[in-house]
Amino acid sequence: MNKILSASLLGMLALFGASTNAFADTAMSWNLAKDTIMAKESSPAGFAWAFMQNSSGVNKAENYIALPNFKADTCSDLPVTCWQDLASQAHVSVHLKQYTYPLNGGFSIPAGNVAFHPGKNSQTIIRWSSPVSGAVNILGRVNSIHSSCGDGVAWSLNSGDTVLQSGSLDKGNGAVFSVSKVPVTKSSAIYLVLDKKANYSCDTSTIDMLITN
């Protein structure tokens, strides 16, 4: 069932596609994977996405801070563009080539996928800052991909501090999120928050996310 849902979601993401100008304010869609794979700096002009963490223990947007380290095209000697905190080990990365992690049962991340991992004592957060006013539709899927160890992850999709959808994933499982007609202004932010459960290890996850207006 997970494979069927994943294939269906990827088909929908491909159908919507990226904006003709990925970072333009007039874009009709924002595709996380397609937008981030183009990034050559941490926050390009007009880039709607930001990558953050929260170590406060209180899940509120005012406590989210940017991941401090950015590397384009090569990160940890891998063909990856990444935003990370070396101390907490929280990170978000977009993979330019397929990567296979061999330890603890292993997992693979296909080229073009966005992966993220909570920190030792911090949430990892993907933020979309709205460049438009009106209403947006949000479609995505979060997957816990390290299925042979750990205790899975928790996640929530938030508009500001309002939780739109949330869930708890067992290791190796995934969930689709879909919300329509979310009101936004040019000061609004949508957040996808990834949290560890009791166990920080083996929490590598992938995220598809498409926002349209």
**pLDDT tens digits along 98-130:** 999 998 888 999 999 999 999 999 999 999 999
Please report, for the domain that includes residue 160, its CATH number: 2.60.120
The DSSP 8-state label assigned to residue 171 in this structure reads T
In angstroms, how far is CA 185 from the centroid of its own chain? 21
The mean per-residue pLDDT over the stretch 129-154 comes to 95
pTM: 0.87
Most confident among 26-40, 92-106, 133-147 (mean pLDDT): 133-147
In angstroms, how far is CA 186 from the centroid of its own chain? 21
> According to the model, what pLDDT value does residue 45 have?
87
> According to the model, what pLDDT value does residue 56 have?
97
In angstroms, how far is CA 81 from the centroid of its own chain? 13
Domain that holds residue 75: 2-19+26-212
Please enumerate in sequence order all residues whose Cβ is within 8 A of that of 80, keeping only pairs 6 or more positions apart, or say none: 73, 74, 93, 94, 95, 96, 99
Residue 13 has pLDDT above 60, yes or no: no
> According to the model, what pLDDT value does residue 14 have?
42
The mean per-residue pLDDT over the stretch 166-188 comes to 96
The mean per-residue pLDDT over the stretch 71-77 comes to 94
What is the domain count for the chain? 1
> According to the model, what pLDDT value does residue 106 have?
87
- Supply 183's token pair: 């009101």
Q: Token pair 């996808």 is at which residue? A: 192
83 has which bridge partners?
70, 92
pLDDT in tens, 34-61: 999 999 999 988 899 999 999 999 999 9
Sign of CA dihedral 54, 191, 39, 108: positive
